[in-house]
Amino acid sequence: MAEKMPYSTTTRDVNVQVRPVFLEDQSNPDEDHFVWAYQIKIMNQSEKTVQLKRRHWQITDARGQTEVVDGEGVIGEQPVLEPGASFEYTSGAPLKTSNGFMVGHYQMESSQGEVFEVDVPAFSLDSPYDLMIHH
């Protein structure tokens, strides 16, 4: 199976890459339970040290139901990224439908105290069950 290229976007010299993975073993299609992991890599390509303070997600399922998630940091951390540094983490998202998408942003703070948002690219949550025709 070919590795999908990650989704990628850069805001103010901070690059965010996302690679979603469908978790077959944690999903139960018969009960409308579908789970994905998403691997995120944040790279600070700027000259300034920045800290990730908050996250904001919109998770939308195939029925158009949107869940908004706001919170401090990511996976319980507020990583500090020196110029040239990167931070990677993996998290997960369950849906009641066999596909959906996510989009969001991180709130960053520079070492000078400036607060700004860094976009997370919209990425689709696809599963093999999309391809099945129901008779």
Q: What is the pLDDT of residue 135?
A: 43
Asked if pLDDT for residue 25 goes beyond 50, the answer is: yes
Report the predicted TM-score, pTM, of the whole model to 2 decimal places: 0.91
- The 3-class SS string of the chain reads CCCCCCEEEEECCEEEEEEEEECHHHCEHHHCEEEEEEEEEEEECCCCCEEEEEEEEEEEECCCCEEEEEEECECCECCEECCCCEEEEEEEEEECCCCEEEEEEEEEEECCCCEEEEEEEEEEECCHHHHCCCC
Please determine, for residue 1, whether its predicted confidence score (pLDDT) is greater than 60.
Answer: no
Of 15, 6, 8, the residue nearest 45 (C-alpha): 15
Q: For the chain, which domains are there?
A: 7-124 (2.60.40.1470)
